[in-house]
Amino acid sequence: MELKPGDVVMLKSGGHPVTVAEVHDQAIVCLWMGEEGDLFRETLPVAVLELAKIDDSDDEQEEDEAEDEDEEGDLEKSKVA
């Protein structure tokens, strides 16, 4: 598995997603925010990590809603003109 800084990974055993900060031979430096807003940094072996599956459906839904609002605004403008 080829990881690079900025990738989002998680432990194969589960847990919260973490962000790759640095990549070394067989060690990955990961960062994450705790519930209290504390920044954590830990070096983990690459063997215990996997790419996190990110659910983009919320982002896509927000983009679709924004596009719909833009189209409605354009229709209103053309009615007024």
- The strand order across the sheet containing 18-23 reads 39-45, 27-33, 18-23, 8-11, 49-51
pLDDT at 63: 66
pLDDT digits (tens, 9 = 90+) for 31-40: 999 999 999 9
Characterize 2-18 residue by residue with b for buried, 16 or more Cβ atoms within 10 angstroms of its Cβ, and e for exposed.
ebeeebebbeeeeeeeb
pLDDT band at 72; cut points 50, 70, 90: low
The mean predicted confidence, pLDDT, of the chain is: 85
Q: Which fold has domain 8-80?
A: SH3 type barrels. (2.30.30)
Q: Considering the entire predicted model, what is its pTM? A: 0.65
Structure tokens at 79: 């009615």
Least confident of 26-30, 47-51, 54-58: 54-58
pLDDT at 54: 79
pLDDT at 13: 96
Tell me the domain boundaries of the chain.
8-80
